[in-house]
Amino acid sequence: MQNKKGITLSVNFLVVIILALVILGFSVYFLASIISRAKGLGEMTQQDLDKKIESIQCEGIVCIPINYKQIERGKFDIFGIKIYNNKGEFHTFKVEVNAVSKNVLGILWAPKELDVPIRTNEEKRIGIGFQIEKNTPPGIYIFNVKVYDQSGEQYGSTAQIRIGVA
C-alpha cells in the first residue's frame, strides 16, 4: 500500500512540473511577441503613422484627412486628397486648388487644376505638392480645394489646406 502512495505522489509531482513548464513556455512566447510588436511600432516613422491615421480619418466623397502641416522654408510637402465617385457612372472630376490667403508669392503648388477620371463606386487619391521658398514670410497660408463634376457643379464640400511657415 505504501508503495502506491509513493508512485501517486511522484506522478502528481511530474504533472505539476509539466504544467509549470508549459505555462512558462507560453509566457515567454507571449512576452517575446509583445516585445517584437513594440519594436516594430518604434521603427515606424511619423509619416507612416500619419498615413495609417489618414486612411482611418477620411470619410465623405471629397476628403483631405490631414489638412494642416508645418513646412519649413526651402522644403516641399504633399497633401493627399481622396475623391469617391458615387455618381452611378464613370465620371471625370475637375479639381481646383486656389489660394485664400492674399500674399502667397513664396509658395508654389501643383497641380492648380487637374482632371481626375474615376469609375463608378471607386475612389482615387491624388496629391497636391507645395514648395515653400526660402524668402516666404512666416504665417499660416490657406488654400481652397474644390471638386467639380462633369456638369460643372461642385461635388462635395470645399476642403481647405492650411500650411504653417515658421
The HSE-up count of residue 12 (CA atoms within 13 Å, CB side) is 6
Q: Tell me which residue of 85, 83, 155, 82 sits closest to 120, measured CA to CA.
A: 85
Torsion sign over Cα 7, 9, 15, 17 = negative
Quick one: pLDDT at residue 13? 85
CA distance 107 to 76: 10
* Four-CA torsion 18, 21, 23, 24, nearest 10 degrees: 170
Mind listing the pLDDT tens digit for each residue in 9-48? 778 888 899 999 999 999 999 888 888 777 666 666 766 7
Element (H, E) at 94: strand 91-99
Q: Which residues pair with 83 in a beta bridge?
A: 62, 124
H-type helices in 65-131, by residue range?
none
> Which pLDDT score is estimated for 11?
82
pLDDT along the chain (166 residues), means of 10: 66 88 92 77 67 68 89 92 90 94 85 93 92 91 94 91 91
pLDDT of residue 130: 94
Report pTM: 0.66
Report how far apart, in Å, the C-alpha atoms of 1 and of each of 4, 10, 11, 42, 94 are. Answer: 5, 15, 16, 62, 93
Dihedral Cα 85, 87, 90, 96, nearest 10 deg: -60
Q: Which grid cell is 47?
A: 509619416
